[in-house]
Amino acid sequence: MNVVFAVKQYPHLFSLNILGCCQGRNWDPAQLSRTTQGLTALLLSLKKCPMIRYQLSSEAAKRLAECVKQVITKEYELFEFRRTEVPPLLLILDRCDDAITPLLNQWTYQAMVHELLGINNNRIDLSRVPGISKDLREVVLSAENDEFYANNMYLNFAEIGSNIKNLMEDFQKKKPKEQQKLESIADMKAFVENYPQFKKMSGTVSKHVTVVGELSRLVSERNLLEVSEVEQELACQNDHSSALQNVKRLLQNPKVTEFDAARLVMLYALHYERHSSNSLPGLMMDLRNKGVSEKYRKLVSAVVEYGGKRVRGSDLFSPKDAVAITKQFLKGLKGVENVYTQHQPFLHETLDHLIKGRLKENLYPYLGPSTLRDRPQDIIVFVIGGATYEEALTVYNLNRTTPGVRIVLGGTTVHNTKSFLEEVLASGLHSRSKESSQVTSRSASRR
């Protein structure tokens, strides 16, 4: 069986390109076999024979840990690599522990492209872009052979536009007679189209102008700045009254698509699942009145079934100590410039505790009797049910700011919101869910 996984693409991120790995809470047997092969092949390519920890609240994580360990034990000669002072560590997690991260709109370049346009094996389909030229209907974004992308993939949207503008102005300086102002994305596109020699010299720039232009159009068309601000409030704040009011307001806005409307209600349902003033039935009625299809309305309950409080081994929404509360307070003080990027994936906290030797063994036990005496330095994290580019950014930043630690992140796939909802559907949990209003409004009565 061929197992495809892209380790080369980004040194700290790999994917097995498997969508829909579980049936209910348990592995699809064929996908468990593929994932075990892919993960052990990765370990061999990295020359690592790791100790293994897994998320205790996930039966799927334990099962994969056991399968990987069986292969390492059976093929021990292949895994006889030079011993390091501190053994490598493989940490196996389950997507259902954080269903918030894959539901959020993104504002860094790589994550935003995947969320709004979709990245499939480095390729972006632009065929639906209004007035697109034939040679730009499909473009490739690869950090390996696109210097602009490599330098900008983790920068925010405002910086990308500014960097493209600077690059084009540098070119214009060579042609002083033909200087023109570049005030908008539209100006940049017009400039590129009017200079065939510029296209020839810099196809990279014309590609990125087109991509950023389309991102800009979608942000405006779908009112995503306002939508994203409320998403961040739902993910990071605990003011129920304000959140409910803002969600209701956006559901009345005709620019907000059924996809974004359903996403907002999903985030509300996950955060305020057991809140005493939970108003999910009313929001479900608002979705119906807005004309949101039954498919999306049913997905609200499916997402809660997939990653709700009953399932999670962690508490996604409550700061756990004084330090966390202070950080949240300071984050709030920073003001408007950070309003779209307040959220940090739960993975950040997990890895921070792991690096500092504080990750609780009763929540993330070792497989087998051995444990690490020292803090881990070589870490491979694998997320069953898919990782995200926001989590890849978290890993990139931790690698950059933590000397002596190297983290590689992988998943059965790399999600945007659309593929994550396909993952939830593929799990079959939705078929056991009743109308969302019943699930969440009565969740307190569950065990």
Q: Which of 196, 222, 248 is the last residue of a domain?
A: 222
Does 254 map to a domain?
no
13 and 66: one domain? Answer: yes
202 and 116: one domain? Answer: yes
15 and 85: one domain? Answer: yes
Does 32 map to a domain?
yes
23 and 126: one domain? Answer: no
Which residue carries 């505790």 as its tokens? 353
Does 262 map to a domain?
no
Q: What is the pLDDT of residue 67?
A: 98
Report the alpha-carbon distance of residue 200 to residue 358 in Å, rounded: 54
* Residue type for position 423: E
Largest alpha-carbon pair distance within the chain? 74
How is 301-343 classified by DSSP, letter by letter? HHHHHHHSTTT-SS-SSS--SHHHHHHHHHHHHT-GGGTTS--
Virtual torsion, Cα 203, 205, 211, 214, nearest 10 deg? -110
- Reported as a pLDDT band with limits 50, 70 and 90, residue 244 is very high
Q: Which of 194, 222, 250 is the last residue of a domain?
A: 222
Give the range among 3-17, 278-292, 312-326, 392-406 with minimum mean pLDDT.
312-326
**Which structural domain range is residue 369 located in?**
7-98+345-430
Mean pLDDT in residue range 304-314: 89
Tens digit of each residue's pLDDT (9 = 90 or more) over 167-182: 777 666 655 444 566 7
Beta strands in 347-405 (DSSP E): 378-384, 387-388
- Close Cβ partners of 321 (under 8 Å, ≥ 6 residues apart): none
Is the CB of residue 52 less than 8 Å from the CB of residue 90?
yes
Does 79 map to a domain?
yes
Residue 191 has pLDDT above 90, yes or no: no
Residue 261 has pLDDT above 90, yes or no: yes
Does 270 map to a domain?
no
Does 164 map to a domain?
yes
Q: What is the pLDDT of residue 53?
A: 97
Residue 312 has pLDDT above 50, yes or no: yes
64 and 94: one domain? Answer: yes
Helix (H, G, I), strand (E, B) or coil at 15: strand
Q: What is the pLDDT of residue 327?
A: 53
Between 226 and 433, whose confidence is greater? Answer: 226
* Residue type for position 146: D
121 and 207: one domain? Answer: yes
Tens digit of each residue's pLDDT (9 = 90 or more) over 404-420: 999 999 999 999 999 99
- Close Cβ partners of 235 (under 8 Å, ≥ 6 residues apart): 100, 104, 267, 271, 342, 343
Residue 316 has pLDDT above 60, yes or no: yes
The rounded mean pLDDT for the chain is: 86
92 and 120: one domain? Answer: no
Question: Which stretch of DSSP H or E encloses residue 235?
Answer: helix 224-236
CATH number at residue 200: 3.90.830.10
Between 215 and 180, whose confidence is greater? Answer: 215
Q: What is the pLDDT of residue 81?
A: 84
Q: What is the pLDDT of residue 430?
A: 62
115 and 172: one domain? Answer: yes
Adjacent-strand bridge partners of 138: 125
216 and 119: one domain? Answer: yes
DSSP H helices, 55-156, are 59-74, 109-116, 147-152
CATH number at residue 411: 3.40.50.1910
Does 52 map to a domain?
yes
Residue 78 has pLDDT above 80, yes or no: yes
- Close Cβ partners of 318 (under 8 Å, ≥ 6 residues apart): 238
Helix (H, G, I), strand (E, B) or coil at 408: strand
Count of domains in the chain?
Answer: 2
Residue 363 has pLDDT above 90, yes or no: yes
Pairing of strands 406-411, 51-54: unpaired
54 and 118: one domain? Answer: no
Report the alpha-carbon distance of residue 234 to residue 264 in Å, rounded: 8
Token couple for 103: 């539901």
- The share of the chain scoring above pLDDT 70, in percent, equals 84
Token couple for 86: 């501190």
87 and 159: one domain? Answer: no
Does 394 map to a domain?
yes
207 and 124: one domain? Answer: yes
- Reported as a pLDDT band with limits 50, 70 and 90, residue 317 is confident
Helix 258-271 to helix 240-251 angle, to the nearest 10 degrees?
Answer: 160
Tens digit of each residue's pLDDT (9 = 90 or more) over 142-163: 998 888 899 999 999 989 988 9
Which residue carries 């053994």 as its tokens? 87
Which residue carries 């940090």 as its tokens? 344
Is the CB of residue 259 less than 8 Å from the CB of residue 96?
no
Question: Which stretch of DSSP H or E encloses residue 257?
Answer: none
Long-range contacts of 328-335 (CB under 8 A, 24+ apart): 328/236, 331/236
Tens digit of each residue's pLDDT (9 = 90 or more) over 7-46: 434 579 999 999 999 999 999 999 999 999 999 999 999 9
